[in-house]
Chains A and B, each alone.
Chain A
Amino acid sequence: MEGREQEHRPRLAVWKLASCDGCQLTLLDCEDELLALAGRVEIAHFLEASSAPGPGPYDLSLVEGSVTTAEDAERVRHIRAVSRRLVTIGACATAGGIQALRNFADVEEFRAAVYARPEYVATLATSTPVSAHVPVDFELQGCPIDRGQLLEVLTAHLAGRKPGIPAHSVCFECKRRGTTCVTVAHGTPCLGPVTHAGCGALCPAYGRGCYGCFGPSDSPNLRALVPLLRSDGADRRDVVRLLRTFNAAAPAFAEASAEVEASAEAEASAEAGASAGGPAEAGAPAGNGDENGTEGPGEDGPRDGRSTP
């Protein structure tokens, strides 16, 4: 039986760019399904798990990690070229990951701060998602991705259908789980209303606010959320920190954190002149006509990863 099926099994490849290994580990964490899966697909390239990588082309490539070096920018084009379908897994591959914090800073200064011989460290000025370099067939969000969602992506691929991954917010999962809203009940700042579902609303279930590790949902309203975070006691610095973690460069989060930062600077310079300004207005960004806040020219900045240092 194995012989005949082997000929027709779809070939799976797993790749890693700049990342922590956690998302590809999620595949090995499918303890109940791993061996069954290995019977349905040929795991042709998965360096973390096997020292016998098979050559391409591959039917499905899972890519973990962001693009932070010129070599990886080249590699990701190669991966695209040898893959029929390319699915990114995790916050690094879909949004640039925590290492995209360099996009908001001076990478030269970062390099000098960490390395004794910074001139030897090859790196790009930005950390960018795979989609900034090549077309991507599906993006699975999360830091880390959810095991169940990964299995759904694989199952859907085998069945030739679209993955059923809801793009709504964590709030839906909280309601479904029956968790008391930590913001309403305890005034805890929570990113749940703007964060992509998938974790099962874990943090509120453990009594803490969502910290946005799954990145923005399909329709995040940051303009509405930021004042709410402020009224729950988060100052501007807290809000910027909250938005700048594992999905800092996701356009919706990047734009909102930049606006909060800009409004803080504007207020600081206004305070230098006269003391004014009600705290209730403090969170509203000033001087920008874009209503939605999720899309716009602003996103091009941090996502542009093609420039070399």
Chain B
Amino acid sequence: MTHRGSRVLHVGSLARVEGEGALHLAVDGGAVTAARLRIYEPPRFFEAFLRGRGHTEPPDITARVCGICPVAYQLSACAAVEDACGVTVDGSLAELRRLLYCGEWIESQTLHVHLLHAPDFLGRAGAVELARTHRAEVERGLRLKQAGNALVEVLGGRAIHPVNVRLGGFHRTPHPRELAPVRERLRRALDDAWGALRWVAGFDFPDAHADEDLLALAEPGRYAIAGGVPTVVPGTGAGGGGAGGGRADVRTFPVREFAAHVAEEQVPYSTALQSRLDGRRHLTGSLARYAVSGALLSPLALEAAREAGLGDPREGAVCRNPFRSILVRSVEVLYAVEEALRIIDAYEPPPRPYVEVPPRAGTGHGATEAPRGLLYHRYTLDADGTVAEASLVPPTAQNQGAIEEHLRRVAQSRLDAAGPEGADDAELTAWCERAVRNHDPCISCSAHFLDLAVDRR
């Protein structure tokens, strides 16, 4: 069936994303006139009910925003509250936090690569269908994911909503011998991570170009995970400044100024709020991290990136093709496995499992790199630690504008490629879904401030 006139495509329930979303695409003649990612995940009001809670509570409470990346919420919350209280957590406690975060990166990125994203490249509906033809690859992915989960479990007690994170550190820190079994697992996972990367490197990648500003945290000397300074690699589009999206015009701003740079904005065609970085569309997540910190990857991960065709970030290579984000995620998994092994090998138990975080009046800011991108928390506390105000800015809310733009472009390019014959609805819809899944959107996270009453036709 072909269509020459105007039509509206609608995917009522997006599959293989976390949370509930829908696509809306309007086409008139050969032109896309509207492309929307509609969020219908019900609001849960975290920022409202955090008010009045104790300052020790946000890590456990905000973990429940997202079962896919609870560690990210716990550690952004800790960073923000500790900042409000004037406490710095460093040394081996900070290393243990990074280790815990590596576990979440491994399991969460692997989940996306193998179970959610890879089926798109191989024309399968999901991992179960994929396993019928690629059983060994799916099993390898599950094994890798399991290694990440095992790491979160040993440090956190369980993989989803870990119980061991607290302000100032941990309730209990592990004895080195408790880490020995997971170390063995991670050594095997290193081979699996290589294998997985080589597998996905063989996929067929459509052309696409994300011209947005890229926002990620940066840390001196290493790939930023559990903290850092917000850093922007300017986009290649109009007004972006950088001709090739290069590193010449990289700018940074302190985390405490996050709200001054990343602001919610109401767009005219929909009632949904979206974030803008200094008034422009931006992208956070794997592509942004790779652009900001890629040069600081380990030699092994750099070799893997080169082998996968991502070029050498030390020579300015930046990946701006969202379809290839699966490669960057796979490199990040490999890096996280290697980094976890490094931290375990260097681990010496800290003298105390946590540092005290006595409450005081003030406002604190915290940001970490959730698997899907930069996650920012802000809390204002009363003198006794009671939360007076809370603000959470998740990565998918920041990415929504870019996702819709990529959706529009992918649909337009398929329409153009199909020529006068016209692309059929099913094909166009499949491409639109792929454009969304490229960004691993976590809709459960975004729902806290995206509203619902968008056009429901």
Asked if A pairs with B, the answer is yes
Within 8 A of A (CB), among B118-136: 119, 125-129, 131, 135
**Contact flag A121-B64 (CB < 8 Å), given A29-B159, A99-B45:** no
Please tell me if the beta carbons of B43 and A123 are within 8 angstroms of each other in the complex: yes
Please tell me if the beta carbons of A120 and B15 are within 8 angstroms of each other in the complex: no
Contacts of A26 in B (CB 8 A): 160
Contacts of B343 in A (CB 8 A): none
Please tell me if the beta carbons of A203 and B157 are within 8 angstroms of each other in the complex: yes
Q: How far is the CA of A101 from the CA of B142 in the complex (A)?
A: 36
Tell me the total A-B contact number using a CB cutoff of 8 A.
Answer: 196
* Contact bitstring B280-305, A, C-beta under 8 A = 1, else 0: 00000000000000000000000000
- Closest residue on chain A to residue B164 by CB atoms: A206
Is B20 part of the binding interface, using a Cβ–Cβ cutoff of 8 Å? yes
Q: How far is the CA of A123 from the CA of B128 in the complex (A)?
A: 35
Please tell me if the beta carbons of A98 and B453 are within 8 angstroms of each other in the complex: no
Q: Which residue of the partner chain, among B48, B125, B157, contacts A51 with CB atoms under 8 Å?
A: B125
Please tell me if the beta carbons of B68 and A43 are within 8 angstroms of each other in the complex: no
Contact stretch, chosen from B51-59, B96-104, B363-371: B51-59
Q: Which residue of the partner chain, among B19, B116, B131, contacts A35 with CB atoms under 8 Å?
A: B131
Contacts of B115 in A (CB 8 A): 28, 49
Please tell me if the beta carbons of B139 and A35 are within 8 angstroms of each other in the complex: yes
- Closest residue on chain A to residue B174 by CB atoms: A206
Please tell me if the beta carbons of A113 and B67 are within 8 angstroms of each other in the complex: no
Please tell me if the beta carbons of B453 and A28 are within 8 angstroms of each other in the complex: no
Contacts of B453 in A (CB 8 A): 120-122
Is B413 part of the binding interface, using a Cβ–Cβ cutoff of 8 Å? no
Shortest B188–chain A CB gap in Å is 14
Contact stretch, chosen from B232-240, B400-408, B444-452: B444-452
- Closest residue on chain B to residue A42 by CB atoms: B128
* Contact bitstring A95-134, B, C-beta under 8 A = 1, else 0: 0011101100101011101111100111100000000000
Most buried by B among A102, A105, A144: A144
Contact stretch, chosen from A12-20, A55-63, A256-264: A12-20
Interface size class of B (residues with CB under 8 A): 35 or more
Q: How far is the CA of A207 from the CA of B157 in the complex (A)?
A: 11
Q: How far is the CA of A69 from the CA of B453 in the complex (A)?
A: 12
Is B145 part of the binding interface, using a Cβ–Cβ cutoff of 8 Å? yes
Contact stretch, chosen from A217-225, A238-246, A275-283: A238-246
Q: How far is the CA of A123 from the CA of B57 in the complex (A)?
A: 25
Please tell me if the beta carbons of B166 and A208 are within 8 angstroms of each other in the complex: yes
Within 8 A of A (CB), among B421-452: 433, 444, 448-449, 451-452
Shortest A157–chain B CB gap in Å is 18
**Contact flag A143-B161 (CB < 8 Å), given A32-B146, A34-B142, A116-B266:** yes
Please tell me if the beta carbons of B18 and A48 are within 8 angstroms of each other in the complex: yes
The 5 listed contacts between A and B (C-beta, < 8 Å) are A22-B68, A50-B128, A68-B44, A114-B46, A115-B273
Tell me the B residues contacting A by CB distance below 8 Å. Answer: 13-20, 40-49, 51, 53-54, 57, 60-61, 64-68, 70, 111, 115-116, 119, 125-129, 131, 135, 138-139, 142-143, 145-146, 149, 157-161, 163-164, 166, 170-172, 264, 266, 271, 273, 353, 433, 444, 448-449, 451-453
A-B pairs with lowest CB-CB distance, top 10: A22-B67, A50-B126, A52-B125, A51-B15, A110-B48, A120-B453, A101-B49, A31-B142, A99-B44, A20-B67
